[in-house]
Amino acid sequence: MDEFTLIERLIAPVAGSRADVCLGIGDDGAVVRPPPGEALVLVLDTLVEAVHFPRGFPPGDIGYRSAATNLSDLAAMGATPLWATLGLTLPQPDVEWVRAFMAGLQAALAPHEVQLVGGDTTRGPLCLSLQLTGSVPESLALRRNGARPGDRLFVSGFLGDAAAALASLSMPEPMPPGAHYLRERFARPTARVGLGQALRGLATSCIDISDGLLGDIGHLLAYSACGADLRVDHLPLSPALVELLDADTALAHALSGGDDYELCFTLPPATPPAVVGALRQHCAVTEIGLITTERGQLQLRDANGPVTPPGPTGYRHFP
């Protein structure tokens, strides 16, 4: 099957449809109509085989994951997802692989009514590059640089599940039930798109956790020129993580493991409890610390006082 047949038979039919797309897949470029009065937010994520997922990973999961990581970036900006373009690099035109990949991609994009409006298909080592465009009223985009001393630090969902799953991919079958939950958290992360939009006008700063909590909080603090006190005994850990791992390993994954795709954000000290409560309609939201004046200092504490972090502090491609 050549690339044109592949696009026509397997990609275009599942691309979705939106009223604001004047011209989708098929021409030299896509033509779209931005929402009146809103600014556009552009994000891109690349998944490379053997770097971001193991060889032989199910194509449906790869498709889902590539959409979820991008949706998570839009969520962290408080944006509404709109359109996607896809760079598909394949070792060979494997029809079943592409069909399953597209099904996974659509499973993640369809709930947000994102339309795939174009892309590029080439031969080479397996690599997926997805670009999403979203929109947000310009003054309400969530940024990394607005945290202020006294702000309260929050995180969505559970931390460390995906990192624990990666570490346990080689576990012998049958895996305990909790391991399947962890694996799903790695393969099909849930982008916190609704929460991100709900944080518009409320959060003073926001970042999504892709490289590990400590590393990503570090970015937020650097941009905001603040420090933070982090309560390690308040970090939200899933029942499966607590059941399957010893306490130190679970904490290390929660602090430094990547791929959580949760949102970490700050709220002003005077935020009413009812406002925080309303955020919990979208997903779990846990208070994990406080922003301080100590520029760049991330102090970990538990109920007894300061503690030192176990393990490294964030994934880097070029250490």
- Where along the sequence are the contacts to Mg ion (CB under 5 A)? 28
Tell me if 214 contacts ligand ADP by CB under 6 A: no
Helices then strands, each counted (H, E), the chain: 10, 13
Rank residues 88 and 187 by Cβ distance to ligand ADP and give the closer one. 88
Task: Report angle CA 90, 96, 99 to the nearest 5 degrees.
Answer: 85
- Are 137 and 38 in contact by the 8 Å Cβ rule? The answer is yes
Stretch that binds ligand ADP, among 56-64, 112-120, 279-287, 300-308 (CB under 6 A): 112-120
Backbone angles phi, psi at 149, to 5 degrees: -50, 135
The entry of ligand ADP, Mg ion, none that residue 120 binds, CB within 5 to 8 Å by partner kind: ligand ADP
Q: Does the footprint of ligand ADP cover residue 277 (CB under 6 A)?
A: no
Q: What residue 119 binds from ligand ADP, Mg ion, none (CB within 5 to 8 A, per partner kind)?
A: ligand ADP
CB of 39 to ligand ADP, least distance (A): 24
Residues 71-110 that bind ligand ADP (CB under 6 A): 86, 88
313 lies in the binding site for ligand ADP (CB under 6 A) = no
Nearer of residues 86 and 165 to ligand ADP, judged by Cβ: 86
Structure tokens at 302: 């538990």
Asked if 133 and 39 count as a contact pair (C-beta separation under 8 A), the reply is no
Q: Residue 38: CB partners within 8 Å, gap ≥ 6? A: 135, 136, 137, 138
Strands 115-123 and 227-231 come out as unpaired
Q: Give the containing element (helix H, strand E) for 254.
A: helix 247-256
Q: Which stretch binds ligand ADP (CB under 6 A): 50-58, 114-122, 203-211, 264-272?
A: 114-122
Q: 13-52 mask for ligand ADP (x: CB under 6 A)?
A: ------------xxxx------------------------
Residue from 41, 40, 21 nearest 29 by CA: 21
Smallest distance, Å, CB 10 to ligand ADP? 9
When CB distances are held under 5 to 8 angstroms depending on the partner's kind, the choice from Mg ion, ligand ADP, none that residue 11 binds is: ligand ADP
Give me the sign of the Cα torsion angle 249, 255, 258, 262.
positive
Using CA atoms, how far residue 35 sits from 72, 125, 130, in Å, is: 21, 37, 21
**Gyration radius (Cα) of the chain, Å:** 20
* Residue 215's binding partner out of Mg ion, ligand ADP, none, with CB under 5 to 8 Å set by partner kind: none
The single residue among 119, 134, 160, 215 that binds ligand ADP, judged by CB under 6 A, is 119
Nearer to ligand ADP by Cβ, of 10 and 163: the residue is 10
Distance CA 213, CA 294 (A): 19
**Contact residues: ligand ADP, CB under 6 A:** 7, 11, 25-28, 86, 88, 116, 118-121
